[in-house]
Amino acid sequence: MMLSSKGFILVTTLVLMLILSCISLSMLVQTQLSQKLAGSATLSFQLRQQTQSKHGQELRLLQQSGAESSLFVIAPCPANYAAWSDLKVICEWHQVRTTERSSHHQHSVTSVLVRQSLPEGGWDGAL
Amino acid sequence: MGLYRLGLCLLLCSQCLFAETYWSYVPGVGSVQLTELSTEQRSLLATHLQLNAEQTRVWLNQLPDQLNAVSCSTLDVQNQAIPAYIDASYKVVSYAGVLKFYSEDNTKSTVWWLPWTALPALSQLKAQVTDLSLHMHQPLLITEQQLGSPGQLMIVAGSGIGNPNYFALQLNSLHSPELLWTLSSIDSGAEDLIGTMAQPLLMQEQRELAGLPALSLLLPNIAISNPTTLIYKVDLLTGNVQAKLGAEQTLPELSGVMALYDQNRDSVSESLLFSTKSGQIWQVQLEQNQFYGLQALADFSALKFNDIQFIRPLFAAVPVGGYGTDFHSRRSQWLVMLGALRQQHSVFVVLKINSTARVLSSDLVDRTLPDAPELAVLTSQDWQQIQQKGGWFSQLSGRLTHLPVVAGGVVYFSLLQQSLEQVCSIEQSSSALVALHLHHASAVYRRPILPLAQAAGPLKIKANAQGGFSLVEQHSQQVLVESLLEISPECAHCSKTIEQAGFPRWQLMGTYHNEEGAY
């Protein structure tokens, strides 16, 4: 009788210890998760800012130095309020894409720009 | 005595050297000079003219005087320069299909090309040239760049007198023009060709294989009676008919102007604009030798036009809002610019293409400048009307001699006011340059009409030393407008100087973000 009650206390203690360790472990995980959750927005914002500032720099570089963009197509010019009749005005459509990566996360910004060259000349054809 | 002989000899030689040359084409023989015909060729000419040998000799002797009498200096203003690789000093002008190649350099002789079919009707030429209600269309010049073979020049024109026909000349040297082909009603596929007083239109089609684009021509059939074919598409090098646009309904007489444009903006011009003389504007799609989707865009018959001088499309951002905060609302759309003749004056029309409804004369706002252009005002009601209606028109104070140039939203016209008594005298005419706002036809410069000392040729835009742009007359390189202005969307009358430093001009069309994965 004595032996069986000792065993019961041991088992109960072990079960309680298990429950306690489960609770404490899950709390630990939860805290870590919430920390991660709290930090993810900041990190995402930081990445976004980083991509945007890099993209802005790339756009400035393209407009200032005429560096090559990733994509370049010669296509009809967009409509202008101050329109030009000159058919020789060539519009280059550039696509600039900036991508920043961190672990498991990727943010990219893509801009489409048109470069209109110096218009000189007239309208082809005679009356 | 010896000196006299020498002088006489020199005089005769110089006469030969500077004498005008008259070229034509005798069927079955080839290109010939009418002053150097063999007996056989002379008899062929006599048969063609329905004259006897003596009358033909008289006709040939009178030919220089007859052509000199036809020469019209007010029409010569419409000349086109011959490319430098042939002879930069020469210009070409067409008198209803009779081509005159002339130079202002007195040591260079004038060369005439007279279509064989026009020879019996030469007496009608003067009446055609001096008819102010008609527009004299100029030929199409196709250069070595377009042909893809260095040193070559082709000229395609339509004849307005005699049997109607289109013809193509190869002009590798001005003194040996070669006829490549003619297209008239005797040719297969063109049996119903009735009128050819028009300007041919060049069409470039990409071949499937890499290389130069295939070149073809679009030729309108100008006819008073109902034609069964409106437009022919022919091969540039052979003149063979490739396709025809049949008339699905009765149309008034077509004008000789057409324009191709890229309506869907995919870099391939597939839409063709053409007009009747009375001002009905039509559009048809053209793809792989197939015409389809004939559609009437506008009918300006009520404006009583006599003829159409040109038609051109223009893609622009058109204001649709009102004053104040609404001002910046704009819509990208195609405009049609039309130059029409009403008696001796040109009327300029800007039409907003509306694919759902036909625009009528009543849908246009009359924006003709008053006699004192400085007093012209644009009221808010006018501005609202222009934005809501289908476009505007303005009667100009003369006759357009060249295609207007649109630069920075300002339309520049070179005009000629002919004397009604002496239509062909440039000395009796006055010239002016007019500049109008593209969206409401008001003045952009302090003086909207600038009188010119001499008639202006084609207008070009050139960068100037002051860091801006100037408008120059192409032939004489005379500066007409020192510093060009550009209209600004900030207000109805806002404008600013165009600066070279502003180019190349970058425009941000859009930015989009993409996010993948998560923390």
CB contact under 8 A, B265 and A75: yes
What is the CB neighbour count within 10 angstroms for residue B478? 14
Which residue type occupies B206?
Q
Backbone angles phi, psi at B264, to 5 degrees: -90, 5
Give yes or no for residue A17 having a pLDDT over 90.
Answer: yes
Tell me, yes or no, whether B211 lies in a domain. Answer: no
| Residue from the list B312, B505, B514 with its beta carbon closest to the beta carbon of A108 | B514
B positions 330-389 inside 8 Å of A (CB): 330, 332-333, 339
Chain B positions in Cβ-Cβ contact with residue A58 (cut-off 8 Å)? none
What's the ipTM? 0.86
Alpha-carbon span B56 to B46, nearest angstrom:
6
Cα separation, A18 vs B23, in Å, equals: 114
- Cβ–Cβ < 8 Å for B471, A120: no
Which two structure tokens, joined as six digits, stand for B318?
A: 């058109």
Residue B160 lies in a domain: yes
Element (H, E) at B382: helix B380-388
CB contact under 8 A, A109 and B512: yes
Q: Are B340 and B323 in contact (CB under 8 A)?
A: no
> Which H or E element spans position B444?
none
**Nearest residue of chain B to residue A38 (CA atoms):** B519
Total of domains in chain B:
1
Q: Which of residues 13-72 of A touch B (CB under 8 A)?
A: 36, 39-40, 43-44, 48, 59, 63
Between A and B, how many residue pairs show a Cβ–Cβ distance under 8 A? Answer: 165
**Alpha carbon distances (Å) from B126 to A41, A126, B50, B233, B243:** 85, 22, 21, 31, 35
Span between the terminal Cα atoms of chain A, in Å: 122
Beta-carbon contacts of B238 under 8 Å, excluding residues fewer than 6 positions away, are B181
Element of type H or E holding B277: none
- Residue B348 is assigned to a structural domain of this protein: no
B143 falls within a domain: yes
State the smallest CA–CA distance between residue B135 and chain A in angstroms.
9
Q: Is A52 exposed, middle or buried (0-12, 13-18, 19+ CB in 10 A)?
A: middle
- Measured in degrees and rounded to the nearest 5, phi and psi for residue B476 equal -95, -5
Q: Which domain holds residue B70?
A: 18-169+182-196
- Residues 6 or more apart whose CB falls under 8 angstroms from that of A50 comprise A100
* Contact residues on chain A for B505, CB-CB shorter than 8 A: 115-116
CA distance A54 to chain B (A): 13
Q: How far apart are CA B439 and CA B405, in angstroms?
A: 15
First-residue to last-residue Cα distance in chain B: 113
Q: Are A83 and B350 in contact (CB under 8 A)?
A: no
CA gyration radius, chain B: 25
pLDDT tens-place values along chain B, 519 residues long: 455 565 544 444 444 445 789 999 999 899 999 989 999 999 999 999 999 999 999 999 999 999 999 999 999 999 999 999 999 999 999 999 999 999 988 889 999 999 999 999 999 999 989 998 899 999 999 999 999 889 999 999 999 888 899 999 999 888 889 999 999 999 988 888 999 999 999 998 876 655 667 899 999 999 776 778 999 999 999 999 999 998 877 888 899 999 999 998 888 889 999 999 999 999 999 988 899 999 999 999 999 999 999 999 999 999 887 555 555 688 899 999 999 999 889 999 999 998 888 999 999 999 998 887 766 778 888 888 898 899 999 999 999 999 999 989 999 999 999 888 888 888 889 999 999 999 999 999 988 888 988 888 888 888 888 888 899 888 888 899 999 999 998 888 889 998 888 888 888 888 998 888 765
**What residue ranges in B30-171 does DSSP mark as E strands?**
30-33, 80-81, 90-95, 98-103, 111-113, 140-142, 154-158, 165-170
Residue B103 CB-half CA count within 13 A: 19
Indicate if the pLDDT at residue A72 is higher than 90: no
Q: Does some domain include residue B162?
A: yes
Q: How far apart are CA B14 and CA B19, in angstroms?
A: 8
CA B472 to chain CA centroid, Å, is 19
Q: Which candidate in A85, A97, A116 is best for mutational testing of the B interface (most B CBs within 10 A)?
A: A85
* Residue B175 touches partner A, C-beta closer than 8 Å: no
Residue B339 counted as domain residue: no
Query: A7: buried, middle or exposed (CB in 10 Å: 19+, 13-18, 0-12)?
Result: exposed
- Cα(B153)–Cα(B86) distance, integer angstroms: 8
Residue B46 lies in a domain: yes
Which two three-digit tokens encode residue A63? Answer: 């407009």
State residue B11's pLDDT score.
44
Q: Which of B426, B475, B473 shows the shortest CA–CA distance to B74?
A: B426
Comparing C-alpha atoms, which of B23, B11, B373 is closest to residue B167? B23
- Whether residue A121 and residue B315 make contact (CB cut-off 8 A), yes or no, is no
Closest CA to B433 of B404, B406, B461: B404
- Residues B309, B285: Cα–Cα separation, whole Å: 22
CA nearest to A84, candidates B432, B369, B487, B494: B487
Query: What residues are paired with B319 via a beta bridge?
Result: B330
In what helix (H) or strand (E) does residue B354 lie, and over which residues does it extend? none
B360 pairs with which residues across the strands? B299
Cis upstream peptide for B504 (omega within 30°): yes
The answer to whether the Cβ–Cβ distance between B474 and A122 falls below 8 Å is yes
Query: In this structure, what is the dihedral angle of CA atoms B307, B312, B315, B320, given to the nearest 10 degrees?
Result: -10
Of B315, B400, B510, the CB nearest to A127: B400
Three-state secondary structure along chain A? Answer: CHHHHHHHHHHHHHHHHHHHHHHHHHHHHHHHHHHHHHHHHHHHHHHHHHHHHHHHHHHHHHHHHCCCCCEEEEECCCCECCCCCCCCCCEEEEEEEEEEEECCEEEEEEEEEEEECCCCECCCCCC
B402, B477, B505, B512: which to substitute to probe chain A, counting the most A Cβ within 10 Å? B505
Whether chain A has a CB inside 8 Å of the CB on B475: the answer is no
Q: Is-contact B100 B75, C-beta < 8 A?
A: no
List all residues 6 or more positions away from B122 whose beta carbon is below 8 Å from its beta carbon: B63, B66, B98, B114, B161
Mutation site, B473, B477, B509, interface A, largest A CB count within 10 A: B509
- CB A115 to CB B505 under 8 A? yes
At residue B133, φ and ψ (nearest 5 deg) are: -85, -5
Q: Which residue has the higher pLDDT, B82 or A4?
A: B82
Average pLDDT over residues A77-99: 83
Distant-in-sequence, close-in-space partners of B464: CB < 8 Å, separation ≥ 6: B470, B479, B482, B483
Domain ranges for chain A, please list them.
2-116
**What pLDDT sits at residue B110?**
93
b/e string for A9-21 if b means 16 or more Cβ within 10 A?
eeeeeeeeeeeee
**Residue B145 in contact with partner chain A when CB distance is under 8 A:** no
In A, minimum Cα distance to B340 occurs at A127
B352: Cβ contacts below 8 Å, ≥ 6 apart: B318, B333, B334, B335, B359, B390, B391
User: B455 near B431, Cβ under 8 Å?
Assistant: yes
- Which H or E element spans position B63? helix B53-70
Q: Which chain A residue shows the shortest CA-CA distance from B265?
A: A76
Question: How near does any CA of chain A get to the CA of B256, in Å?
Answer: 10
Nearest CB neighbour to B403, from listed A81, A115, A123 = A123
Q: Are residues A123 and B401, on separate chains, in Cβ contact within 8 Å? A: no
